[in-house]
Structure 1
């Protein structure tokens, strides 16, 4: 399947969960230790805007990856940013374009098909972060989870840890559900619940 279709599925999964967030939950802790739920949602909007800019050749500047705002309507801000990145990813030659990803490293760039894979796995994982925080179910399709697992397996161990994009991998049983294995590969504890730090 086209990576862009999988990415749209990841955005839809995340958007459905974001739409269920209540105002009094925005200050809640999340599995991402550095962020409250408000901070996580702002990150999601910022990342969509950054990837959209990068798809159009303008992603080298840090500011485009950090300027996302939620305003008074976090779900609406997320939906608008999801529309923006989906439109940018729809360009005919986007899979071959070079995407600047300054969060990975200064001057770092990869072809669009790889960058969109990174975006997809990030949103599948962050959908779980939102779901775990608000006590909702996280139910990506088997196809989406399998695709995210393939990408997550490629994330190197170097550079992981507190403050990094990913924490160190967590060991789970080999027969753990596919979703749990994905979360563990990305350094998330599948058993996380609100109140854990």
Structure 2
């Protein structure tokens, strides 16, 4: 598999065509993220981009990950790609959202790659448009999805992912089901 930083950069580029389709009239639409409209999802994505970027370079508090103006998503995406490229590969990254645990930089980049592609699909599903993820990205995101803990972590308030859905699907549909997303959501 290619370098995780390069895969992450490609993931960000893969969702860009979907995000550029968002119009102000779309922002109140419901999304596959339970209880979130598109405005809330984009604010979350932008805040996560900025938070992961900051955390890759220095220890930060949970406030660094706060939702941000959804209109600044492109700048946030550029910032996180640049931060991951500039970060020390040996850095142990503090993630306040994970109970102030530290993770190797490559693991953190994998977390964000997963978040990027899944939320890119969430936006695409909201707009009724397809995603275009290449096979290497699909393999990388599947590997990340298989590492997401199950059990009570999936049912707790504010859980990042719902319990896995039963499915016999392979490919992207199977990855979405592993993360509690209905691949047929619309």
After TM superposition, the score normalised by the length of structure 1 is: 0.89
Q: Is the 8 A contact 1:15 1:78 kept in 2?
A: no
- d(CA) in 2 for partners of 1:177 and 1:131? 20
Which of the residues 119, 123, 127 maps onto 1:130? 123
- Output the aligned Cα RMSD: 1.2
Q: Is the 8 A contact 1:34 1:163 kept in 2?
A: no
* Structure 1 position 102, deviation (Å): 1.3
1:90-120 deviation digits (Å, cap 9, x = unpaired): 1262x32111111121x21101000000000
Aligned to 2:15: 14
User: Is 2:58 aligned against 1:57?
Assistant: yes
After TM superposition, the score normalised by the length of structure 2 is: 0.94
User: Is 2:91 aligned against 1:97?
Assistant: yes
Aligned to 2:174: 181
Aligned to 1:167: 162
1:55-110 deviation digits (Å, cap 9, x = unpaired): 11133x1111005223xxx2xx11101111111111262x32111111121x2110
- Larger helix fraction of residues: 2
* Structure 1 position 178, deviation (Å): 0.3
1:13-58 deviation digits (Å, cap 9, x = unpaired): 2222111011111000000013110000001100010001101113
Aligned to 1:66: 66
| Runs of 4 or more above 3 Å deviation | none
1:128-169 deviation digits (Å, cap 9, x = unpaired): 100000011112111101111011101110300252011000
1:163-184 deviation digits (Å, cap 9, x = unpaired): 20110001111xx240001101
SS in 2 for 1:90: helix
